Amino acid sequence: MTNILIIGSSGDIGCAIAQKLAFDGYQLILHYHTNEQKMTKMLQTFPEESILAIIQANLESDSSMDTFLNDIVFPVDGIVFAGGQGYIGLLQDTPYHVMDDMFMQHVKAPWKISKKFLPMMIKNRSGRIVLITSIWGELGASNEVVYSSVKGAQNSFVKALAKEVASCGVYVNGVSPGFIATKMNGHLSKEETQAIMERIPMQRAGKPSEVADAVCFLMDERTTYINGEIINVNGGWRE
pLDDT digits (tens, 9 = 90+) for 74-110: 999 999 999 988 899 999 999 999 999 999 999 999 9
With cut-offs at 50, 70 and 90, classify the pLDDT of residue 54.
very high
Concatenate the DSSP letters of all residues of 98-158 into one string: HHHHHHIIIIIHHHHHHHHHHHHHHHHT-EEEEEE--THHHH--TT-HHHHHHHHHHHHHH
Q: What is the pLDDT of residues 133-174, one digit of tens each?
A: 999 999 999 999 999 999 999 999 999 999 999 999 999 999
pTM of the model: 0.95
Section 3-7 average pLDDT: 98
Active-site annotation holds for 147: yes
Query: Phi and psi for 233 in degrees, rounded to 5?
Result: -125, 85
Q: Which residue segments constitute the domains of the chain, with CATH numbers given?
A: 3-233 (3.40.50.720)
From CA 135, how far away is CA 30, in angstroms rounded?
25
Q: Which of 26, 32, 147, 171 is catalytic?
A: 147
